[in-house]
Structure 1
Amino acid sequence: MRNLLLFAYLQALCCIFPVIIFTALALSKFVSIPYIPRYDFILLICVLGQVYMLVSKLETWDEFKVICLFHVIGLGLELYKVHMGSWAYPEEAISKIGGVPLYSGFMYASVASYICQSWRRMKLNMYNWPKPIWAVGISVLIYFNFFTHHFTYDIRWILKCLLLIIFWRTVVTFELREKTFKMPMIVAFVLIGFFIWIAENIVTFLGAWQYPNQAEAWSLVHIGKISSWFLLVIISVIIVASLKRVKHGTSLVE
């Protein structure tokens, strides 16, 4: 029970930045903010939250650099998906580019923030990590499939089969009260994707963005989206793991 409570506490600390975004979404949905469009208000809160994370040292500068990379990756995906009609941001804002408000990049960055902080706070280690050519190669294929499946064959099931082969032997370990626990890496990917799907239902209810079937009234996000988040989480973890391997050698990823 003590380990479970400690695990929950550490997870809560790792989710501080996502909580800041949730708070901004909830506040701006139920309270009218004068003189500033809602999406711009959310962007302002996200920027202030990012500054707070750095000043308070809840986030390191190395983690901030990784998060900036996720801003770029996320905004690129958002611009394309909104253009293709996968989802929309219906409200007006000064900070919208191509129909995408700039605060959307922070939602991808919050996933990176969670991964980086979990890695540091829970002393994560990866064992039997695939060779860089396989790890980086599969992440590139996953990312491009998010774009190409709109006009060619969707290969996500092929990618999932490849992921099972590539990460079949990979395990992640974490520490609680000087005890080491381990979990298959694929299971960790699925669990994170599932909880992001739950968070997605909350933020779409709060109006963060809108799927076509939610235009008239909010409805549950299709359960198939867990698959998309599962794949996106894999890209995120591979990027973070690859950067850490470059900086620290094989001490964190083996």
Structure 2
Amino acid sequence: MEQSSNKTADIICQALSERIQRGEFAAQGRLPGERLLSEQFSTTRITLREALGQLEAQGLIYRELRRGWFISSPRLVYNPLHRSHFHAMAERQGRAAQTEVIDAHPVSASSMLAEKLAIAEGDEVYRIRRLRRIDGRAVLYVEHYLNPRYFPNLLNLDLTQSLTDLYLTRYDIRYGRVRFTILPGPLPALAAPLLKVATGSPALFITRINRDQHDRIIDCDCEYWRYDALCVDVEAQGIS
């Protein structure tokens, strides 16, 4: 019975994939509801969701909590070696980017954060939490932790802008070395509803510890990406 169910899901997945490729759902930008699709394919919701999960894994569709399944745009290509900010990266790929500030205020550094920023536990840092969208779809929740020593009064500025640009134009600070850590993990409780998925849903967690042109550690970014919205692509020169 299980093999039969898997086979049925594969058939439904292939049929829906072909319909998506033909642009059948392009006008609505989303698939019909699961109940209607189950009726169309004369199958159970369990088998249908298995097929939809396959399409999601292929990057053809994505789900929003309590809203249904939507046709996916191409994944945003992210090359950590390119020191480019979010909006510029999206623009180069023909995409429209938007940034929403959730909150921004001073907080005390935890022991883990203090180690990343090379400061003392309990020292004050600026925390900026933002939600970022591509083509109207929320794809990234990010927490920025800044050493306020280098950015006086930054919290009074328009933080929907690129921090990279603000660093340069307001403080004459440019990025230098950077350390990346990329791990899979669950979305935190605050991020999940903002990204319209269930708490604990899988995410791609990227931590960046940034230094400036003087090799001072200036900030740490904690990025939580919807795993179905991002493609990490790196090309490095050969080592002789």
TM over 0.5: no
Which structure would you say has the larger RCO, counting Cα contacts within 8 Å and 6 or more residues apart? 1
State the TM-score, normalizing by the size of structure 1.
0.23
State the TM-score, normalizing by the size of structure 2.
0.24
Query: When you count helix as a share of all residues, which structure comes out higher?
Result: 1
Larger Rg: 2
Query: When you count strand as a share of all residues, which structure comes out higher?
Result: 2
